[in-house]
Structure formats: C-alpha cells, structure tokens
Chain A
Amino acid sequence: MTHRSYIVGAVLLAIGFATMAVGHFIGLFVAPREAMMGDVGRILYVHVPTAWGALLLYSGAFIAAIGSMWTGRRGWDAATTAMVEAGTVMTFLLLVQGSLWARPTWGTYWTWDPRLTTSAVLAAAFGVVLLLRRLIDQPARRAMATSVATIVAFVDVPIVYFSVKWWNSLHQPVSNLGSVDSPMMQPLLIAAIAIMFIGAGLSILRFRIELARLVAEEAAPDLPDMPDPLHLEGSDKPVQAEGSPS
C-alpha cells in the first residue's frame, strides 16, 4: 500500500461529497413532495442511501473476514476492521435519521418494529466486533476473533433487508424502481452513488490507518513486565526482626 492510496481515498471522498451535494440539492429543492409525507418525505434521499451504504460496507467486511480467516494476512484483517467501522458509523447515523423521520410520520421516535429492531441489533453486533478488537492483544488471535465475529454479525444483514417483507412492519417497503416514482428516483440514485464513493473513500483511509497500526504493533519490541509494587527489590527476603543477622 503506497501513499497513492491516500490520494485515491481523498479523491473518492471529494467525488462522493460533491455528488451527494447534487443529489441532496435535487432531493430538497427540485423533486416533488411525497404524496403522504409531504416535505418530510425528502429524508428519503439521505436515509435510504445511508442504509444501502452500510449494508454494502458490511458485505465487503464479510468478504474481507473470510479472506482474513483463509490467508491470515493482516491486509484482510485491516480491511475487515476498516469496513466494519465505516459501516457501523453509517448504521448509527441510519438509526438517528430513522428516529427523526419516525417522529413526524409515526408519532414516535422509536418503536420495536422488526426493521428498527433488526437494525439496532446490527449496530450493536458490529459495535461488539470493534469492541472485541480492543480487548484482544495477540494479533493473530484478534484477527481470527474479528473475522468470526464479523461473519456472525453479518447474519443480521439479510434479516434487516427482508424484515419488511417477512413481518408486518410500520416501516415502508424496500425502496426500488417499483416502489419509488421516477422523479424521486433520480436524486435517490445520485445520492446512493455518492454514498458508495464516500464509503469506499472512508474504507481506504481507515484501512491505511489500521494497517500502519498493525505493522507498528508487530515491529515494536515487547514491553518489559511492570514490577509488582508489592515485590520491589529486596522484598523477596524473608521477614526479619530489626537487628537480626541477615
């Protein structure tokens, strides 16, 4: 991985944010109001792309986790971590967006609806993956734990996607060409493409950081054990009375 990856990541982010600005401008000021939700329906153009971005990042993390388990290479481990972290940021953002959309449309910020519940489980599960990495010091063991936890957490991704089909849900159906009118589809697709660029840029930059950290960690000499404060120098001598021969 060269310095070129930094430039690639930065360029992807620049393209992504510029494209997202265009998509959001059209969504906010050009696209028609949603028939039932009115202007509140414009949240669609930021909420749905965020969901697609998170699910794609988790799919990438799933593939990287398998690569990490298969090869043991730290590049796959760093890629898994990068995409899990970027996906988790987007998932927490998704939950906040959804709550703020739910208030004016459903009358509440939160309800234990299947789509909301499975999404919350998704954020928690991948949050645990990141937490797990902090708790394990040995690199190979940590990489294996990260991979296994990522694969287990990924089981929830298709459940989130299909939750609105499998169960009765307050949440609207899956957004696609059949369920969104064409004037609204244009800004939605532009914003979706933008979030893919942003997700890729974030992952590449986070990958650089993680890989550098893993390399530095393995190159650093082992730190000496800290002395036990109860067994300082000379403290291993038997307890003696003052003045007794040593």
Chain B
Amino acid sequence: MNGTIEGGWGYVIAVYGISWGVLLGYAVVLLFQSRSAPAQADGTTHSQPGSTT
C-alpha cells in the first residue's frame, strides 16, 4: 500500500463523457441556431426610450 488511489476509471469516464457531451451538445445547438441568424451590422447603438429610431 503506497497511498495511491486504485481504480477510479468510472469517475474518469464519467467526467470525460459529461464534458464532451455538454460541450458538443452546446456547440451543435449554437451551430443550428446561428445558421439561421441573418447577417447583421454590429455598430448600431441601442435605441433609447422615446427615441424615433
């Protein structure tokens, strides 16, 4: 017994699986949603309350 934790691959697989699942899932959702987003200019300011723009 040298104090090293034995086993634990279940936790390793769970962490890697969840991480890949979340990041890939989020990426796919954004890819689909942004695909339909129209091209926009980003230099416009927010209109103020009561403005006529």
Residue contact A46 to B45, C-beta cutoff 8 Å: no
Measured as residues with beta carbon below 8 angstroms from the partner, the interface class of chain A is 35 or more
Residue positions of B touching A, CB distance < 8 A = 3-9, 11-12, 14-16, 18-19, 22-24, 26-27, 30-31, 33-35, 37-49
Q: What are 26 A-B interface contacts by the 8 Å CB criterion?
A: A1-B39, A1-B40, A1-B41, A9-B30, A9-B31, A28-B12, A28-B16, A36-B3, A38-B4, A39-B12, A40-B11, A42-B12, A43-B11, A46-B16, A75-B42, A75-B43, A75-B44, A89-B26, A93-B23, A96-B15, A100-B18, A104-B7, A104-B8, A104-B11, A139-B46, A212-B37
Kindly list chain A residues whose C-beta atoms are within 8 Å of the C-beta of B49: 138, 140-141
Whether A103 is near chain B, meaning CB under 8 Å from some CB there, is yes
Kindly list chain B residues whose C-beta atoms are within 8 Å of the C-beta of A233: none
Q: Looking at the assembled complex, report how far the CB atom of B44 sits from the nearest CB atom of chain A, in whole angstroms.
A: 6
Whether A209 is near chain B, meaning CB under 8 Å from some CB there, is yes
- In angstroms, Cα B15 to Cα A50, docked, is 12
Whether A97 is near chain B, meaning CB under 8 Å from some CB there, is yes
Residue contact B47 to A35, C-beta cutoff 8 Å: no
Besides the known contacts A13-B27, A17-B23, A205-B30, 10 further A-B residue pairs in the complex with CB atoms under 8 A apart: A39-B12, A43-B12, A78-B42, A97-B19, A104-B7, A205-B33, A208-B37, A209-B33, A215-B40, A215-B44
- In angstroms, Cα B23 to Cα A50, docked, is 10
Residue contact A72 to B4, C-beta cutoff 8 Å: no
Q: Looking at the assembled complex, report how far the CB atom of A130 sits from the nearest CB atom of chain B, in whole angstroms.
A: 14
Whether A6 is near chain B, meaning CB under 8 Å from some CB there, is yes
Q: How many A-B residue pairs have CB under 8 A?
A: 135
Q: Given contacts A1-B40, A38-B4, is CB(A74)–CB(B46) below 8 Å? A: yes
Kindly list chain A residues whose C-beta atoms are within 8 Å of the C-beta of B31: 9-10, 13, 205
Kindly list chain B residues whose C-beta atoms are within 8 Å of the C-beta of A138: 49
Whether A211 is near chain B, meaning CB under 8 Å from some CB there, is yes
Interface of chain A residues 186 through 207 with chain B (CB within 8 A)? 198, 201-202, 205-206
Kindly list chain B residues whose C-beta atoms are within 8 Å of the C-beta of A96: 15, 18
Q: Given contacts A47-B15, A100-B14, is CB(A208)–CB(B34) below 8 Å? A: yes
